[in-house]
Amino acid sequence: MSADSPRAARLFRGAVRFAVVIVTTYLGLLAVTFFIGRVVPVDPVLAVLGDRAPATAIARVREQMGLDLPLWQQFGIYLKQVLGGDLGTSVLTTRPVAEDIARVFPATLELATFGTIIGTILGVPLGVLAAVKRGTFIDQLVRIVGLAGYSIPIFWLALLGLLLFYARLHWVAFPGRIDVVHEYTFTPITGLFLLDAMLQRQWEIAWDVFRHIVLPGCLLGYFSMAYISRMTRSFMLTEMSQEYIVAARAKGLSEARIIWFHALRNAAVPLVTVIALSYAGLLEGSVLTETVFSWPGLGMYITNSLQNADMNAVLGGTLVIGSVFIALNLLSDLLYRTLDPRTREK
């Protein structure tokens, strides 16, 4: 009983710290999005009424929106609305922003998930290979490919990919998410078109959706692969220099077993965080990709809203992206503690 008490106390303190971090981080995110909406040179009242509206109408709407109140009271109202799921109404679509985001976010989620899967499948083996072949031509080649992923603008690669694979070779479909022929006959379930088509065994539609997503997804996967392979190489080099690797070789274990079952297993602990951050980066950083490929996702929604001074939609999208970052960071931290028992005692 006495042995369990310190452990229970540690777990309780850890849970309290965890809750405090979540609340503090989210409040900070809400504060940032609120003050961004107040410092941008866009008047939300004029965005609703237009710049030719009479002064009386402007004053009335400003009062209805609470913009005549002190800033701290405005933040309190904003906080209450957001916690209640109210992100305001979009000027561009005249619908609640929460409904718009629920409609467009699955497209971004599907594209980012596709890219992360490609990046992880390619990035981890390439990083391991570069670490094992350190200093050789293979190592240099992997590092050059990764460096190109950081250096080449994604919109340039996207346009080049469309020119080659769509206009010349006809390997991929026209920009968009699904062909017009299937757009009004296909009924999504989860909002992830590729998964939904497969679940409903509509293989023709699944193939059409795949032909639309493969090029933008592979481009995002390339940039994800560049980051994951570089970090995997770094983690593997650290693990390969540890004493347990020397002991494993002394015991006569095969090099393949040492690399894949010992070194990579320990490197997977920090690698989880890297993959989670890469995933979050694709969720919020696919604006250019969605714009070039006319992908109706959150990035394109925010871009169109920003061009039309629809600040409710911009701030709502920013808040969702920030929430995703917080959630993925917390998830990676939980996985880190699960994979590394030493962190549970801290």
H or E stretch at 287:
helix 287-292
Q: Where in the chain is the domain with CATH 1.10.3720.10?
A: 98-345
Indicate the burial class of 46 (C-beta count within 10 angstroms; 0-12, 13-18, 19 or more).
middle
The pLDDT assigned to 111 comes to: 93
Q: What does the block give as tokens for 60? A: 């009335």
Q: pLDDT tens track of the chain, all 346 residues?
A: 455 566 677 667 767 777 787 788 888 888 887 887 777 666 677 766 666 777 787 778 777 767 777 878 888 888 888 888 888 888 778 888 899 999 999 999 999 999 999 999 999 999 999 999 998 999 999 999 988 888 888 888 889 999 999 989 889 988 889 998 888 888 888 889 999 999 999 999 999 999 999 999 999 999 999 999 999 999 999 988 888 888 888 888 888 888 888 888 888 888 988 898 888 888 876 778 888 898 999 888 888 887 777 778 888 888 888 888 888 877 877 777 776 655 555 5
Yes or no: say if 147 and 229 are a contact pair by the CB < 8 Å rule.
Answer: no
In sequence order, the 6+-apart residues with CB closer than 8 A to the CB of 153 are 288
Class of domain 98-345: mainly alpha
The Cα 16–Cα 22 span in angstroms is 10
152 DSSP 8-state letter: S
The pLDDT assigned to 1 comes to: 46
The Cα 327–Cα 334 span in angstroms is 11
The Cα 234–Cα 253 span in angstroms is 23
Amino acid at 287: V
H or E stretch at 302:
helix 298-307
